[in-house]
Amino acid sequence: MRKVSTPKDKSTMSRGDLKQLVAQGEGLRLEFKHRLPEPERVVREVTALANTCGGYLLIGIADDGKIRGVKDPEEEIYALNSALNQYCFPEVPVELERVKVSRTRTVVMVKTSVSPMRPHYVRNPHSRGQSVFVRFEDMCIEASREARKLMHSSPDAENVLIKLGAKERLLLKQLEQVGTVTVNGFAKYAKIHPGRASRIIVRMTQAKILVHHIDLEED
């Protein structure tokens, strides 16, 4: 059972600050919800932020950016905590704030930083499976196998050494030719199994020879 997140007694964000944040529009670090969605879906959104680069989930903001607020912020906060308890592991540290936007309406701000405990998994309510989600532009998408492996790598790891063999040099050659490489593209180019291509790409990324980019089709 995770620790229940409670909102701060006094918000650090003013209505003016909120308007400036909303004016940025949805993106890599910002997600709007008019009301709290179904439990598994909201957990996807929160964990995707924590698994990528952190950010804000604002409850009470319409898709078009209009600041609507919610009538009962405590109900939204209770539902959020219940969803995180039920569907998320390991727990995601979040900060909650209420921002009063009118006499009867409040926006609930859910803030999370990039997590040192990532990847955070989301349990599937219809099976025993679990998935990892990340942010791509203004979307929440399922993480690739390579992205999950890189999350498992220690962020404090230093001086990762890698031997540049024939296949690694082929990868660098392909990168020079086309600018980007993917697992399937490199597997075909080097005539190796995709599993081996994946391991080579992950190792070279851990060694900081490559930079990982999340993509909708293939990392």
- pLDDT by 10s per residue, the chain, length 219: 555 666 665 678 899 999 999 999 999 999 999 999 899 999 999 999 999 999 999 999 998 999 999 999 999 999 999 999 999 999 999 999 999 999 999 999 999 999 999 999 999 888 888 999 999 999 999 999 999 999 887 555 555 677 889 999 999 999 999 999 999 999 999 999 999 999 999 989 888 888 888 887 776
Structural domain includes residue 80: yes
What CATH number does residue 34 fall under? 3.30.950.30
Q: Are residues 24 and 110 in the same domain?
A: yes
Is there a contact between 55 and 28 (Cβ–Cβ < 8 Å)? Answer: yes
pLDDT value, residue 8 = 66
Residue ending a domain, choose from 143, 160, 185: 143
> 149, 183 in Cβ contact below 8 A?
no
pLDDT score for 124 = 87
- Please give the pLDDT value at position 218: 73
Cα dist from 212 to 29, 53, 137, 168, 180, whole Å: 18, 13, 15, 16, 10
Instruction: Examine the domain organization and report whether 116 and 162 are in the same domain.
Output: no
pLDDT score at 208:
84
What count of Cα atoms within 13 Å lies in the side-chain half-sphere of residue 184? 5
Q: Is residue 28 part of a domain?
A: yes
CA 48 to CA 207: how far, in whole Å? 24
Q: Please state the domain count of the chain.
A: 2
Q: Which amino acid is at 71?
A: K
**Residue 84 Rama label (left phi>0; alpha psi -120 to 50; beta):** alpha
Q: Which domain holds residue 194?
A: 152-206
pLDDT in the model for residue 155 = 54
